[in-house]
Amino acid sequence: MPIFTRADTAVDGRPGMCKSAVVDSVTLHVAARRYLMDRYAELVDQYATLPDQGRVGFGYSTEAYRIFPRYNVVEAMLAQVERLDPDRLPDQPSLLAWLVEAAATARSPFTEPASNEVAATVMAEERRLFSSAVREWAGCGDLRVQPLPYRRVLTSAESAARQQQLQRRWGLVDRMWHPMIAAEAPPEVLVLVEAVMWDLPEAVTHVRTALRAAGGGRVTELREYGEEYLIDVDLVAPRYTGAEGVWSDDTLTWIAYASHEGTVAFGGRLAAALPTLWPDLDRWRWSP
């Protein structure tokens, strides 16, 4: 099913000829997020097809440099776009200016400095592609975009406040929890092997079902490094991605923690609810 459509015609990728009208801020913001998310996935898939993962000796092939700097800059642009609150978007002209600025200036440790001329060239090309796309969408009043769950990059103050709350309520140490901290885990803490969150599709479904039953409010996702988010329950996936993660919500009645040691731990309402939803959960319990 196409992501972008006009009111009368479905098209793949960006829309073609549009009516002379102005798209609303919500549609424009979703279109920008969807474009960047799909472009990132496309480029990662392209890179995965390279022989030897793009490596040549201790460096990278020219073909690798034509791809991975692209997805790095796309990821940086997406993070900048998602600093805006989807519930409180500015008016359309201001939003368009923000998106164009994000295309020109979004940075991350993986985009600066450019590795070589090839990397610099392809990153600049991705910036132009995104900037051109949002300008076109802005004048496409008949643009239709499939909705996306809520996701917003937390401010540093929000991240720090949630970390302090979790330290007081759950004994979080920095961004680590059981079984990776010195304190002994209470009996009510449920610790599973983290691989189940990748290998068994129902595992994440069980977590989301339990969270919806607990109220289904938005969830904070803190990470060992990288961006941290406020997300809808539909996006919660307590997995180790190379950066340890901690999940909770404003009630502080539950916590989840995915560690680099192959564990995922649950506390509070989640630890109590999961065994009632997951008939064979015991086979995935972690033992030290």
Q: What is the pLDDT of residues 93-127, one digit of tens each?
A: 999 999 999 999 999 999 999 989 999 999 999 99
Distance between start and end Cα atoms, the chain: 46
Comparing 250 with 215, the larger pLDDT belongs to: 250
- For residue 144, report the phi and psi dihedrals to the nearest 5 degrees: -125, 135
pLDDT at 2 over 60: no
Average pLDDT for residues 75-90, to the nearest whole number? Answer: 98
- H-run or E-run covering 276: helix 269-277
Domain housing 231: 151-284
What is the number of domains present in the chain? 2
Asked if 179 and 191 touch (Cβ cutoff 8 Å), the reply is yes
Q: Which helix (H) or strand (E) holds 254?
A: strand 254-258
Q: Cα separation of 30 and 34, whole Å? A: 6
The predicted-structure confidence for 169-215, as pLDDT tens digits, reads as follows 999 999 999 999 999 888 899 999 999 999 999 999 999 999 999 88
Residues 65 and 130 in one domain: yes
> Cβ neighbours of residue 132 under 8 Å, at least 6 residues apart?
none
CA triplet 238, 2, 152: central angle to 5 degrees?
35
Task: Flag whether pLDDT at 165 surpasses 90.
Answer: yes
Q: Are 137 and 158 part of one and the same domain? A: no
Same domain, 20 and 77: yes
My answer on whether 10 and 99 are in the same domain is yes
Q: What is the pLDDT of residues 205-242, one digit of tens each?
A: 999 999 999 888 999 999 999 999 999 999 999 999 99
pLDDT in tens, 138-160: 999 889 999 999 999 999 999 99
- In this prediction, residue 21 has a pLDDT band, given cuts at 50, 70 and 90, of confident
Length of the chain: 288
